[in-house]
Structure 1
């Protein structure tokens, strides 16, 4: 009997033959889906089962959306603890391998993305990056502090290394913004995730390294986006690219369960990025940003389809890491109130115009 992606047949086949769970014919559909977990769900999803937290449940729901067989598979394995453990380990290994491949690709290309074409220096050692190098430090510096950084780069970097200046995951790094962006405390999300450096990392991951610099793809093999049927940029892939970019620019040597550099925790950073898109998915900034980024990815341009608003996942926000994150939410609420007020005023104006017309008719 040929192996199938039907989970019940998978379990039966494993028991009836003495094959290991590594057999690619049996595991292929699951491993294929697992490799999409970091880029489409979370690079920090370690548990295959839905956990007790809301974040765990959301991650599992997203995974099962593109691998619907997984829920049946887990139920089928309930009476086979050893097989379930091995199966889960293989899923996690595939996901971690995909994340590591992206990390390696981004790390190798970092120098090309941050240096001008005239520069030839290559940041081979991770210890030379982060707040130990003026180029990477400037990219990691929150936009709100960039003027202070440029006034005295060495002093600013030293203060960050000593912890005198605390850079946190709630402050948006300048590499996420265009090079000429100016910090606007009243409109913090203007230009966010539209930076040239960030776009190169985003393309590297989803449409391949050859497309990263100029957005023109010439590789023969299908890209990650094409392999997994991605036709539009969504919030979690933006967050994943931001995390991979930060990790590549930083001096963090190894990817751990929650990698951090100083006070900047990448797990928190990922959550903050995701929340900007998922907490309030109907905010005009969300649609504008995702539309703009979709047009920047070459293999998505051809089959671009606008995502329906009803497809957006809405989750609650964790406010434990406030600062610029909550400031953006407050600014969005203010914009909504302004739009509502404008709508009421327009209705009032129209009503007044109708009354004037009636008075004219009465006089006639």
Structure 2
């Protein structure tokens, strides 16, 4: 899908000041009219919500309302975890179907580049969202165009999609909350110590937990702690970082609540255990079993999270619901943010204290910005659904703000340049 996080903008753009004009409503073809009616009939009446439909066979044909609900759920899982879907719908509809004002100075205002970038990102997100149901675009268009005569229908449409997106995220978060065994190298052999019960408050997680603190910290800080030891079922290990390791000032600060996690490093759980190399950030990056298990949990179900897909894609799962059988960077970024939320002391939110979860999402997406890069191709192919075919899209412009993703990309480019230079020197000397 188009990248919604790195967009080229000029300092200002000219936009019309007058309200969007509404063209004459076209007559809908019968097939589109049927979908329109199915969606409209799902809206609440007299302030009362419609009764929920009874569960049907997965192979039963879904109504347009059910498919639109699926589109909204797809949005939060595979387009953008944090964007407001109502805002996305509004910006994209005005861009696609609004009537622009005459190009005259009296009708122009100056819009900040940041606002223009936000609108462009929303338009790209809208386009990506409806790739799974392009036939519903004509229906959505009709709801938008009738705003002048019936604004309630458009409001019901966007609010119901917002509710569906929120419900999907809440469902995923709730299902993952009590799956901390996903962090263990081998859940059949290793144990969480101290254990985290399903009834325990989230305050026992995060830096307060002697194992989870290792995974949520970035590697520069994690290396300041004694080595992580995962207790086994038969071991006598009672804690990670025992007194035998000697005094540790950084650990004392953690225990006393004097360490704050920021976005200056990616969480260490993104790397395969034992693979982190500050001289080669790419080694083992996004090859950790924990985020992969979270990705599988969301898309192919909890039963596949640890054991994989030896028996193929389950008959009932989100991959089949959304007809999504290849992994992309947005799905991975969502899984990473969900994984970090499992470790955190806080419930789902864009921010976790000083840590910005939305920035983490954007940084993960940014790592995949060079579609022809070997690391990108190999990493996507390693993920849950198998082989990946990189789409032919333009590389997004890098943002100026430094981040861990920038450091990784710079190191990757330097390594590739050095290899090319060495190959050229060898060729010229032969």
Q: Sort the TM-score into its range (normalised by shorter chain).
A: 0.7 to 0.9
8 Å Cα contact 2:43-2:156 kept in structure 1: no
1:228 and 2:322 correspond: yes
TM value normalised by structure 1? 0.79
Q: Pick from 177, 190, 193: which aligns with 1:107? A: 177
Question: CA 1:233 to 1:12, structure 2 compared with 1: closer, same or farther past 3 Å?
Answer: closer
RMSD: 3.2
TM value normalised by structure 2? 0.68
Question: CA 1:119 to 1:342, structure 2 compared with 1: closer, same or farther past 3 Å?
Answer: closer
Question: CA 1:191 to 1:313, structure 2 compared with 1: closer, same or farther past 3 Å?
Answer: farther
After superposition, give the CA deviation of every residue in 1:146-186 in whole Å (9 maximum; x if it has no partner): 12033737424247x43xx442234111111112223x222
Structure-2 residue corresponding to 1:207: 300
8 Å Cα contact 1:38-1:95 kept in structure 2: yes
Question: CA 1:290 to 1:329, structure 2 compared with 1: closer, same or farther past 3 Å?
Answer: same
| Per-residue deviation, 1:229 | 2.3
Structure-1 residue corresponding to 2:252: 155
Structure-2 residue corresponding to 1:75: 141
Question: CA 1:10 to 1:229, structure 2 compared with 1: closer, same or farther past 3 Å?
Answer: closer
8 Å Cα contact 2:371-2:390 kept in structure 1: no
| Per-residue deviation, 1:102 | 0.8
| Per-residue deviation, 1:138 | 1.0
Alignment of 1:107-186 (within 5 A): 107-111=177-181, 113-114=183-184, 117-119=190-192, 121-123=195-197, 124-150=200-226, 152=248, 154-158=251-255, 161-162=257-258, 165-182=259-276, 184-186=277-279
Structure-2 residue corresponding to 1:48: 88
Alignment of 1:1-364 (within 5 A): 8-11=33-36, 25-46=63-84, 47-49=87-89, 50=91, 52=116, 53=118, 54-78=120-144, 79=147, 80-111=150-181, 113-114=183-184, 117-119=190-192, 121-123=195-197, 124-150=200-226, 152=248, 154-158=251-255, 161-162=257-258, 165-182=259-276, 184-216=277-309, 221-253=315-347, 255-256=348-349, 258=350, 260-277=351-368, 279-293=369-383, 297=384, 300=385, 304-310=386-392, 312=393, 314-320=395-401, 322-345=402-425, 347-349=427-429
Question: CA 1:7 to 1:345, structure 2 compared with 1: closer, same or farther past 3 Å?
Answer: farther
Other structure's SS at 2:275 match? coil
CA distance in 2, matches of 1:118, 1:86: 47
Q: Which runs of 5+ in 1 are unaligned?
A: 353-364
| Per-residue deviation, 1:305 | 4.6
CA distance in 2, matches of 1:266, 1:217: 33
8 Å Cα contact 1:48-1:92 kept in structure 2: no
CA distance in 1, matches of 2:77, 2:40: 33
8 Å Cα contact 1:48-1:88 kept in structure 2: no
Structure showing greater relative contact order (alpha-carbon pairs closer than 8 Å, 6 or more residues apart): 2
Structure-1 residue corresponding to 2:95: none
Other structure's SS at 1:59 match? helix
